[in-house]
Amino acid sequence: MVCRVTGEIDLANAQDLKYRAIEAMKSHGPPLVIDLGGVTFMDVSGVRALLAIRRHAAVIDPSGQIELRGVARSVFRVLTLTEAVTLFRVAETPQVA
């Protein structure tokens, strides 16, 4: 299952991302791919949402892993600074200029 995310992920909408991704996993099960290619900004609220999605996937299937695709450099930086990047499979690592 692929969930495509666009726009900003912040305090105003991170819970919506978490809810929708968990509902998708309830319907289709892990593994889940989250396509962040359309995300222009993400703060720590988005990181918390992704971690909650990961925890939920582990409850459904302990071997289930969340894959992140299309991660923009700014989003990758937030994931790296919080060390959350180590908890996900990142399909495409952004190029460093």
Q: Facing residues of 6 across strands?
A: 38
Q: Which CATH number fits domain 2-90: 3.30.70.380, 3.30.750.24, 3.40.50.300, 3.30.360.10?
A: 3.30.750.24
Listed in sequence order, the residues at least 6 apart from 76 whose beta carbon sits closer than 8 Å to its beta carbon are: 85, 90, 93, 94
From first to last of the 97 residues of the chain, give the pLDDT tens digit.
Answer: 899 999 999 999 999 999 999 999 889 888 899 999 999 999 999 999 999 999 999 998 887 789 999 999 999 999 999 999 999 999 876 644 3
Domain ranges of the chain: 2-90
The pTM for the full model equals: 0.90
Listed in sequence order, the residues at least 6 apart from 47 whose beta carbon sits closer than 8 Å to its beta carbon are: 78, 79, 82, 84
For residues 61-91, b (16+ Cβ closer than 10 Å) or e, as one string?
eeebebbbebbbeebbebbeebebbeebebe
Q: Which two tokens stand for residue 19?
A: 């809810």
